[in-house]
Amino acid sequence: MEERMSLIVFSGTVDKLMAASILTTGAAAMGMEVEVFLTTWGLEAFRKDAYKTNQRVSKEFEDFAPVMMEQMQVKQVPSWMDNFKDARDIGAVKIYACSMTMELFGIKLADLEPIVDDVTGVATFVERARAGRITLFI
């Protein structure tokens, strides 16, 4: 088995999703198997087309939001969704939706971006993360 990196993405703000997507890309580039578990706001951010209008930034840094967004445009930085898609192209990346959040917010797999592979429960995720080298919570 390739070394695994497990990522729990709880956050739904652009700044944190960006970090999550770059870590995913970096790990995939280095040949790790990456498993992303989307929960709560992270899952919300993967609703179909939500990424196109998501401008949220962490509250404590909302004053930086305009500058950050502007710089990303100016420097043509790929978006977090672009990074997740690129990561899948170059490596083994699986993206799972948290079953509990799906229930809570009444979301079905069909409501999510096609990049989300499947729904899983927390126990499955923990078992798989246990076998991994790196586990992160974002």
Partner 1 sequence: MTMPQEITIDKEIDARGSFCPGPLMELIRGVKVLPVGGVLAVLSSDPGSAKDIPAWIAKAKHEFIGAFPQQGYTRFVMRKLH
The binding site for partner 1 (CB under 8 A) comprises 22, 25-26, 29-31, 75-78, 83, 86, 89-90
Question: Which residues is 38 bridged to in the sheet?
Answer: 9, 97
Nearer to partner 1, 22 or 100 (CB): 22
Measured from the CB of residue 90, what is the shortest distance to partner 1 in angstroms?
A: 5
Measured from the CB of residue 135, what is the shortest distance to partner 1 in angstroms?
A: 20
Nearer to partner 1, 28 or 102 (CB): 28
Measured from the CB of residue 2, what is the shortest distance to partner 1 in angstroms?
A: 12
Nearer to partner 1, 65 or 72 (CB): 72
Measured from the CB of residue 113, what is the shortest distance to partner 1 in angstroms?
A: 20
CB 21 within 8 A of CB 84: yes
- CA gap 38, 116 in Å, rounded: 9
- DSSP readout, 66-127? HHHHHHHHHTTPPPHHHHHHHHHHHS-EEEEEEHHHHHHHT--GGGB-TT--EEE-HHHHHH
Nearer to partner 1, 26 or 100 (CB): 26
Q: 44 Cβ partners below 8 Å, 6+ apart?
A: 12, 50, 101, 105
Nearer to partner 1, 11 or 24 (CB): 24
Measured from the CB of residue 134, what is the shortest distance to partner 1 in angstroms?
A: 15
